[in-house]
């Protein structure tokens, strides 16, 4: 009996300490995937790092808000935002019309394109000279895509007959491509280059398509997501983003990882 009592008291203590919130000026909870190097990931020291993280911290600093980062699996990102799990999304989320129906976005802080990655010298002719995909040449090939991305959207609408394999996380795309479970993947070319093609596990692979940047699916770029009706916050963030762009900060963040600016 005594043991149970002590255990219960200990449990309640844990509970109560969990509820204590530090007093803050204004705290914004930021949702991100945390496994999407080099945009938002956790480095070996256990800290969140990446282009998105830098942008988020800079914006937070400029608008005078404390930030609390919340890790969220990508396919639940928008439902989680709508369910008030966090206030803004800084996770390389493209601004698309489909998403604008349910949520709002700040101005862009990065361009948004897609590209297919596959085995070197596979000899596929997947796109014609006008950079349009040739559906027939995709037959029999397995394509790895992450659920709820602009890439899966593009595929669903442009190549409905293709054999698509859906993943929960970005990392899994590369793992399975190397293991031969998929023939190609479609993802962000900057990340593909950095995380994969320039490393040893990407040695036998290359880009097998031109860049795809149809506005309809990829939008005008990547922006900070927030719930609809938060126009004051949106205005403040846009102002901050403009400062970051004009003062060259965005470029400096990009140069940390890429040999070029990405906004």
Binding residues (CB under 8 A) for other proteins: these are: 1, 7-8, 10-12, 14-15, 18, 34-37, 41-46, 70-73, 75-76, 78-80, 82-85, 102, 147-148, 165-172, 174-176, 178-181, 199, 201
Radius of gyration of the chain (CA): 21
Q: In what order do the strands lie in the sheet with 163-167?
A: 163-167, 142-146, 184-187, 115-119, 205-207
Instruction: Give all strands (DSSP E) within 33-110, no chain letters.
Output: 35-36, 40-42, 48-49, 66-71, 88-94, 104-110
Question: At CA 112, angle to CA 142 and CA 171, rounded to 5?
Answer: 45
- CA pair distance 52, 40, nearest whole angstrom: 6
Nearer to other proteins, 41 or 257 (CB): 41
Nearer residue to other proteins within complex by CB, 41 or 138: 41
Instruction: Count the Cβ atoms, other than its own, within 10 Å of residue 100.
Output: 13
Supply the minimum distance, in Å, between the C-beta of residue 171 and other proteins: 5
CB of 51 to other proteins, least distance (A): 15
Nearer to other proteins, 61 or 79 (CB): 79
Q: Partners of 223 in the beta sheet?
A: 93, 108
Identify which of residues 190 and 241 has a Cβ nearer to other proteins in the complex.
190
Nearest distance in Å: CB 9, other proteins: 10
When the beta carbons of 34 and 55 are compared against other proteins, the nearer one is 34
Structure tokens at 258: 């890429």
Q: What's the closest the beta carbon of residue 179 comes to other proteins, in angstroms?
A: 4
Residue 154 beta carbon to other proteins: minimum distance, rounded to whole angstroms: 14
Q: How many CB atoms lie within 10 A of CB 245?
A: 16
């Amino acid at each position: 009996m005594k043991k149970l009592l002590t255990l219960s008291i200990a449990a309640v203590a844990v509970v109560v300490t969990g509820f204590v919130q530090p007093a803050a000026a204004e705290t914004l909870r930021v949702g991100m995937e945390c496994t999407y190097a080099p945009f938002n990931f956790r480095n070996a020291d256990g800290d969140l790092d990446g282009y998105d993280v830098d942008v988020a911290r800079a914006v937070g600093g400029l608008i005078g808000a404390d930030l609390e980062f919340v890790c969220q699996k990508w396919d639940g990102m928008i439902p989680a935002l709508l369910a008030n799990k966090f206030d803004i999304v800084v996770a390389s989320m493209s601004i698309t019309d489909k998403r604008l129906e349910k949520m709002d976005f700040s101005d862009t802080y990065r361009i948004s394109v897609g590209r297919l990655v596959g085995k070197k010298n596979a000899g596929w002719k997947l796109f014609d000279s006008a950079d349009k995909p040739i559906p027939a040449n995709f037959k029999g090939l397995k394509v790895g895509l992450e659920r709820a991305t602009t890439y899966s959207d593009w595929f669903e609408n442009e190549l409905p007959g293709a054999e698509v394999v859906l993943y929960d996380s970005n990392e899994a795309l590369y793992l399975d491509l190397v293991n031969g479970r998929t023939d190609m993947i479609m993802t962000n070319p900057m990340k593909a280059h950095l995380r994969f093609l320039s490393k040893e596990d990407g040695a036998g692979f290359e880009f097998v398509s031109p860049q795809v940047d149809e506005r309809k699916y990829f939008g005008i770029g990547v922006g900070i997501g927030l719930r609809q009706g938060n126009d004051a916050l949106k205005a403040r963030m846009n102002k901050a983003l403009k400062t970051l762009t004009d003062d060259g900060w965005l470029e400096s963040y990009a140069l940390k990882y890429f040999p070029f600016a990405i906004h």
